[in-house]
Structure 1
């Protein structure tokens, strides 16, 4: 019997999928509840069954799914009435009336969930067209009102925009507007902030909290981020391999975790309180064995120059062209990289942080010679001398490719699905003429051993590995040519927290054992704090602050750095996010910064000021250094 206080109650839910070789039991006898006006967080790793449960609630599971149990929904609009969603005819009128109207859903990836052929206004108002009899003018007015409610500064303009014209954060806001336009009693948010920057994530979290309170709406929040859970949830349900491990109020779960799996998840989260040398406690450790990989390279490196890579005044602009309805072409020049300078010392990890669009990846592509810069210089120093990275051609460029390698963000799209692991790892060796077939096979097996994968897996294809294993294969491919510098571009942003801990520990172990040098690019400050020795903060194509990690993250000077630090959600109930302190009108809104950080033209231009101890901040020439130092 469903409780009169429960909006949604799931009892004994089991979901399996029939495949060749036997059924897969995705969810095993799961039970949970969502209270009216409250947030229940469903927490677990990828493949644990979270999204499958949400699809069952929405009635959108594929026909191959076999379901048993009960999903009871008590609609506040119909007091005293409780319906079992699983007993409703699939795609019948009853379930279609609930779906979108009384139960809304925000999907994980807004770009693939929104139609690229229809405007934002068309897609949001379509929900009203399906579920109401309102005339077109009234639907448009309600849609524009909702777009304003979710934070679009100009709802009338946003109504006629297409998804590709919006940033990731704005596309997610459009998804929220679509889910809430009918004022549902229950909102299912499936990883709503996973693909977003930390400051955009803070905006979305604040928006969801405000809308939930304003609309008296309940929420089933699906996530693997315990920091998000601590800041927004009322109740927590922990799921592992389709089984509920632990459930209860957020206070009890975080202050007195009982199940070893939950304790393991909490220990795997990087945070600012980690002591120097302290490791993340990964749930499943990755053994590292590099004895046969690079020989005695560490000893040779000690004789090399201290500075490995020197970047000075790097610039890059992009020009976009757009024609108006008269056919007149308008050009817009975007300065993606604007006078970036930094050094990376041999054996250290330099973290490069900032929001999407700040120029981080463009810098990495310039270093890899994938993009041609407009100006500046990049010099790589090795045992043989200095290499001019930007002008290297022919044999020099071929040699340079072996010195700088990259680990990409997405382990799925960065590996060819048509190549086995052996082909993937041996390809760099074949391109650069390293060894014969027998020695290359031995190197591949050594690489597999170094990243903690079974050597017998070299004949398998990428699709047969998990996300974390695919990322390890990407790391092994980058190590195949024994590079001096490894550029890691958001290498863990697409991974669960437990798998993330594995990869971060692996990178630290490889750095220690092989003497590697990293440029680690990320928007997650807690991850960068764990990995980096020094951190450079990038905003609008410029490095606005650079300092050793212990200084920058604990005594930040620049307003943008402070916004980034304040936006990090901690998995700690005693350290809630201070939404008032955040510059939620946009961390890159320079008008909100102090006058000493705003560019006033050539007479008083911004310039890097040295505060001592390797701490550099971008401020006006006339700024008093004493005023910029932290209290």
Structure 2
């Protein structure tokens, strides 16, 4: 293939960052291409150099960066290819290309949008810079693009602020901003990371449709091999800044040659794994749980006759009072229930998976369990063998005990770890708060916790910013383990991690559950991860649990149509199991209109209640429904 046939050709690209102790070579002699109208996926772990390459193409790399090689952009509207590296960083020619002929979708839309400007103001800025359109014409084009990316009321969205949009909507607005000048090349940096499977399928369908309509090429940067298998034409695999393997998507998936690519594929959880099979991360964590047992972190042994149910939740409801868009007038909008009559039990020693799309109420439930949010109705009873505790009414000694026995692992380890505290201080803080041990004992306990999660004791002197994403998440897990809790609430603990680090964390959680007898509430939107971790699964939609069953029943024979739609939206890293974009790309609100009558609630009709299908399998259905109407 000649350079003239490639829309983008990168030749021998090397990128280095000068540091006090020497140069950090982020990319080493990398070469790849993007063909016109095709999707090239750049795949690798966090820190492999993917995002640095995208920044360099756009001329957005830090000023101190040392760059060599070629980045040839063959714009169809230009007379000849241009080497982007030879253009002045802030020169007129590069600015004319950036945002106009090459668009970019950033990984985190909330940090990429300005909170002080409306969505329309930020999207129209590219038109103001690159065109001579009037203000009215710019607004018209922006509303057309917002409509194209799936907004039903683009005029209203144009005047909204980014914080008023959900994660999926913000990603759609980011796509509209990248495409407003109809570029020849779109760089998409992790466009679906941390989105639930249904929103992810909608975004992938949107990108595929826009690519066809606009005859646009895409450089897709991702660590999700399921996304790659369903949308890419060519694949480039990068590891520690070097290209390991490249070629068409067929040979790459059907006959991978490089051990690194084979290792990435083995680290992905999938639904066909036999019971008991472990994920194979590229780098194993050596877990030493023995150091935790018998030290000061261990709680007093509970009574011999421990109850089977550790946590019992009944009729939990929470409604957040909001105002409508006409807030200046102050008229109250209809109240929207975030959690609506949720009930479930968590048994001792099990992992209960809680799945559902963004906005269904999963995190609100976890915050209620941790007493960070007060519910409107409902009760929560916790009993780990020391006697039942009313979680919502606990005070004094009961509340102090409760806070040692229920801990949480947060979704984002960056924001949940204080940047001003060393790791040693972070891990010893629970002992300080609950007055356990003296200074020497706390130091010993911190060393033991670091050993459990596979980190050297010297890590105690370092700060969170000096660790990778996976290491920070392991530190978050160690903090949750510090007081030897009975129950750990895991809120999307691996959603933003690449597959190799994800495999490390999941294996660590399973090992700790087995060795320390832990109980988990595991909240996730990744059904393959839940299939690997959970013993039972609760599926949540619109604030309600619509199905609850043992893991193998939910994954193999779901009864509720929403559960089936969630499973259909999972992108498999398998070319023989392509994603059905027509059904998977439909929102759950739209698809609910086509559910069987037994699963639809209608005003004035029969109420909804859990229907017992036997074997611990419950599905939310009309009280008038029969077994034949709800049986899968």
TM-score, structure 2 length as denominator? 0.97
Deviation at 1:324, TM superposition (A): 3.5
3-state DSSP of counterpart to 1:210: helix
Could you tell me which residue of structure 2 aligns to residue 54 of structure 1? 54
Could you tell me which residue of structure 2 aligns to residue 382 of structure 1? 384
3-state DSSP of counterpart to 2:226: helix
Deviation at 1:275, TM superposition (A): 1.0
Deviation at 1:468, TM superposition (A): 0.9
3-state DSSP of counterpart to 1:611: strand
Residues 110-125 of structure 1: pairs in structure 2 closer than 5 A: 110-125=109-124
Structure 1 outlier segments of 4+, above 3 Å: 295-303, 321-329, 585-590
Residues 232-381 of structure 1: pairs in structure 2 closer than 5 A: 232-295=231-294, 303-321=305-323, 324=326, 327-381=329-383
Cα distance in 2 for residues equivalent to 1:390 and 1:167: 29
Mark the CA change 1:539 to 1:164 in structure 2 (over 3 Å): closer, same or farther. same
Establish whether residue 152 from structure 1 lines up as the match of residue 154 from structure 2: no
Which moves more between the two structures, 593-602 or 604-613?
593-602
Mark the CA change 1:355 to 1:588 in structure 2 (over 3 Å): closer, same or farther. farther
Which moves more between the two structures, 384-393 or 525-534?
384-393
Q: CA RMSD in A?
A: 1.7
Deviation at 1:160, TM superposition (A): 1.5
Mark the CA change 1:14 to 1:94 in structure 2 (over 3 Å): closer, same or farther. same
Could you tell me which residue of structure 2 aligns to residue 26 of structure 1? 26
Establish whether residue 76 from structure 1 lines up as the match of residue 76 from structure 2: yes
Cα distance in 2 for residues equivalent to 1:540 and 1:4: 52
Cα distance in 2 for residues equivalent to 1:221 and 1:512: 38
Mark the CA change 1:22 to 1:62 in structure 2 (over 3 Å): closer, same or farther. same
Cα distance in 2 for residues equivalent to 1:27 and 1:171: 31
Could you tell me which residue of structure 2 aligns to residue 456 of structure 1? 458
Deviations 1:555-605 (A, max 9, x none): 112121112111111111111101123261445753232221111246501
Cα distance in 1 for residues equivalent to 2:452 and 2:304: 22
3-state DSSP of counterpart to 1:547: strand
Given that 2:264 and 2:500 are in contact with CA atoms closer than 8 Å, whether structure 1 keeps it comes out as yes
Could you tell me which residue of structure 1 aligns to residue 449 of structure 2? 447
Deviation at 1:215, TM superposition (A): 0.8
Deviation at 1:74, TM superposition (A): 0.9
Deviation at 1:135, TM superposition (A): 2.2
Cα distance in 2 for residues equivalent to 1:4 and 1:164: 43
Establish whether residue 140 from structure 1 lines up as the match of residue 136 from structure 2: no
Establish whether residue 14 from structure 1 lines up as the match of residue 19 from structure 2: no
Residues 507-522 of structure 1: pairs in structure 2 closer than 5 A: 507-522=509-524
Could you tell me which residue of structure 2 aligns to residue 228 of structure 1? 227
Cα distance in 1 for residues equivalent to 2:402 and 2:603: 39
Could you tell me which residue of structure 2 aligns to residue 611 of structure 1? 613
Cα distance in 1 for residues equivalent to 2:422 and 2:264: 32
3-state DSSP of counterpart to 1:453: coil
Cα distance in 2 for residues equivalent to 1:413 and 1:389: 26
Could you tell me which residue of structure 2 aligns to residue 421 of structure 1? 423
Cα distance in 1 for residues equivalent to 2:330 and 2:480: 46
Cα distance in 2 for residues equivalent to 1:587 and 1:541: 13
Which moves more between the two structures, 329-338 or 89-98?
329-338
Give the number of aligned pairs.
629
Deviation at 1:323, TM superposition (A): 7.5
Mark the CA change 1:258 to 1:325 in structure 2 (over 3 Å): closer, same or farther. closer
Given that 1:560 and 1:588 are in contact with CA atoms closer than 8 Å, whether structure 2 keeps it comes out as no
